[in-house]
Chains A and B, each alone.
Chain A
Amino acid sequence: MEFFANLPEFSTVISQIFVGLSRSMILFMVAVGLTVSIGVLRVINFANGTFYMLGAFTAWSVALWVGGTAGFWVALLIAPLVVGLLGLAVEAGLLRRLYNRPRLMQLLLTYAVVLLFNDVTKLIWGVDFKSMRAPLSGYITFFDGLLYMPSYNMLLLISGPLVAAGLWYFINHTMTGKIVRATATDREMVDALGLNSNKIFAIVFMLSCYLAGLGGALIAPTTNIVVGMGMTILINAVLVVVVGGLGNIWGAFLASLIFGVGESLGLLIAPRFAIVFPFAIATILLILKPTGIMKSVW
């Protein structure tokens, strides 16, 4: 019985790490939206994966509509915005009514949104796989061929830290960000200062959907776009959020890295069991630190 593949070459390991890192970035974009809505709204948004899926489908449509290489870039701009606005509609129209209800009600509502949007997606886009071409084709090599990866992965690798840094700046150094942090700990007091916390909630929810949509648009050229993709990533994102520490942006970033790289290295070491690796890592980390690797807001 041989489930360990032959020992891989060093350069393969390096390349695989970078593949893992670029997957981490996508995972991060879904997880960070989830963690922010847990941290501020105290709502576990099951639909975040669905918004990711909608980001991918919308990007596919926009890219097709615009056409050419420009199509992808336009889609990258527009798709997350569309998804963000859709998120705003869900927050203002549905979720807002349930903030004072038991958490199970909110969970059920976001799950209902998942079912609803999955079926609407099937109505609009059909049930077949969709795929689109990456704007940057070919491979790039670094360090005399030690590192060899698709050029498109560079875009993913850059976008993750950019989003993380942008969010960090927004939360810590803008007025709205400061109010968001205040709202996360004491909503009533924010209202008492004369600030409309409903608006803050709406902004945060929209932002988290925007990020999920951005993740979806970014992954679109590298994968089969299909209705089930939202749930797959949501499960991993929930793990990332729990392991990273509920509501902690940096925790989500770190945990995404651990998961992405862990999974892709697992693929090298024991391909048949690759799917187990993220869960094994999560189990170990949670046994060591049940509240998550970074400070949890709950």
Chain B
Amino acid sequence: MLEVKDIHTYYGLSHILFGVTLEVRKGEIVCVLGRNGAGKTTIMRSIMSFTPPSQGKVYFNGKDITRLPVFKIAKMGLAFVPDNRRIFPDLTVEENLDIAAHAGRGRGRSNWNKEKIYELFPPLRELDCRQGGFCSGGEQQMLAVARALMGNPDYLLLDEPLEGLAPLVVRELVVQIERLRKEGLSILITEQNVRAALKLANRVYVIDRGEVRFQGTVKELEENEEISRKYLLV
């Protein structure tokens, strides 16, 4: 279980998160919804300790991981897919996967390898010699998720995975993320694309200006028109 307890996070002097609390239980897909600038990415960065919270705690499977070095958190089985993908542009698709696999040696219960990845994301098989920097947006998104999986994580943090992708690609990716849950992964997604995200989620948090404004099931959110209107622009 991943628990975020009452965290306050700053970028320099600007206060971004104001006491955010959320949790992702095993086998769940949890979605954090909110507008641009609401603090979604900062939640991810706080969990991974790129920007550690100055107040509050993050627990992973009961262990306090607040302010641990990033690579140690990753080694425990948390994988992060950033919103701008951040594929290593000078490495080929295959090399991107290779170093992730090397990093994740002997970790976790799931057992991802290139064959299994290519089965999940068939287009990547054709690309394996291409440099990451020359892949299209959709291809890079697949590669970013694939790279994260190669480390055999138990939990996946997907920061706006559907952002900027063509509708057809979005539909494909939603199916693939759904399949990852069946493989036993627990997933935290942040999204602005409310409709697609709600198809996936077990539970939803709505955040605005660095605070949680709503939490509940998808059904509860759909029934609460006020929240949707106020914070989600639907």
Binding site for B on A (CB under 8 A): 175, 178-179, 181-182, 184-186, 188-197
Q: Does B95 contact A (CB under 8 A)?
A: yes
Interface string of B77-99 (1 = CB under 8 A from A): 00110100010111100011011
Instruction: Report which of B86, B95, B104 forms a contact with A189, defined as CB distance below 8 A.
Output: B86
Contact A175 B99 (CB under 8 A): yes
A258 to B82, CA, bound (A): 43
Q: Does B11 contact A (CB under 8 A)?
A: no
* 11 A-B residue pairings within 8 Å (CB atoms): A178-B95, A179-B102, A182-B88, A182-B99, A184-B90, A185-B89, A191-B70, A192-B48, A194-B74, A194-B107, A195-B99
A187 → chain B, closest Cβ, in Å?
A: 10
B154 → chain A, closest Cβ, in Å?
A: 13
A233 to B75, CA, bound (A): 43
A181 closest partner in B (C-beta): B90
Contact B99 A179 (CB under 8 A): yes
Contact B71 A186 (CB under 8 A): no
Instruction: Report which of B74, B82, B95, B98 forms a contact with A191, defined as CB distance below 8 A.
Output: B74
B100 → chain A, closest Cβ, in Å?
A: 5
Chain B residues with Cβ below 8 Å from A193 are 71, 74, 79, 99-100, 103-104, 147, 151
A191 to B90, CA, bound (A): 17
A31 → chain B, closest Cβ, in Å?
A: 21
Contact A188 B70 (CB under 8 A): yes
B112 → chain A, closest Cβ, in Å?
A: 13
B96 closest partner in A (C-beta): A182
Top-5 shortest CB links A-B: A194-B74, A191-B70, A194-B103, A182-B88, A193-B103
Chain B residues with Cβ below 8 Å from A191 are 69-71, 74
Instruction: Report which of B71, B82, B89 forms a contact with A194, defined as CB distance below 8 A.
Output: B71
Chain A residues with Cβ below 8 Å from B82 are 189, 192
A175 to B95, CA, bound (A): 9
Interface string of B193-232 (1 = CB under 8 A from A): 0000000000000000000000000000000000000000
A197 to B74, CA, bound (A): 13
B50 closest partner in A (C-beta): A188
The number of chain B residues with a CB under 8 A from chain A is 26
Task: Kindly name the residue among A185, A191, A192 whose own CB sees the greatest number of chain B CB atoms within 10 A.
Answer: A192
Chain B residues with Cβ below 8 Å from A188 are 50, 70, 86
Contact B104 A178 (CB under 8 A): no
* Residues A197 and B91 in contact in the complex (CB < 8 Å), given A178-B99, A189-B82: no
Chain B residues with Cβ below 8 Å from A186 are 86, 88
A175 to B91, CA, bound (A): 12
* Residues A195 and B103 in contact in the complex (CB < 8 Å), given A178-B95, A188-B50, A189-B82: yes
* Residues A192 and B70 in contact in the complex (CB < 8 Å), given A179-B99, A182-B99: yes
A194 to B96, CA, bound (A): 14
A228 → chain B, closest Cβ, in Å?
A: 38
Chain A residues with Cβ below 8 Å from B95 are 178, 181
Chain B residues with Cβ below 8 Å from A194 are 71, 74-75, 103-104, 107, 151
Interface string of B44-82 (1 = CB under 8 A from A): 000010100000000000000000011100110001101
Instruction: Report which of A175, A185, A196, A197 forms a contact with B88, defined as CB distance below 8 A.
Output: A185
A191 to B78, CA, bound (A): 12
A182 to B95, CA, bound (A): 9
A188 closest partner in B (C-beta): B50
B92 closest partner in A (C-beta): A178
Interface string of B20-35 (1 = CB under 8 A from A): 0000000000000000
Chain B residues with Cβ below 8 Å from A175 are 98-99, 102
Chain A residues with Cβ below 8 Å from B107 are 194
Task: Kindly name the residue among A179, A191, A193, A195 whose own CB sees the greatest number of chain B CB atoms within 10 A.
Answer: A193
Apart from A178-B99, A181-B88, A181-B91, what are 9 other A-B pairs with CB-CB below 8 Å?
A188-B50, A189-B86, A190-B99, A191-B71, A193-B79, A194-B104, A195-B71, A195-B99, A195-B103
B100 closest partner in A (C-beta): A193
B149 → chain A, closest Cβ, in Å?
A: 11
Chain A residues with Cβ below 8 Å from B96 are 182
Chain A residues with Cβ below 8 Å from B88 are 181-182, 185-186, 189
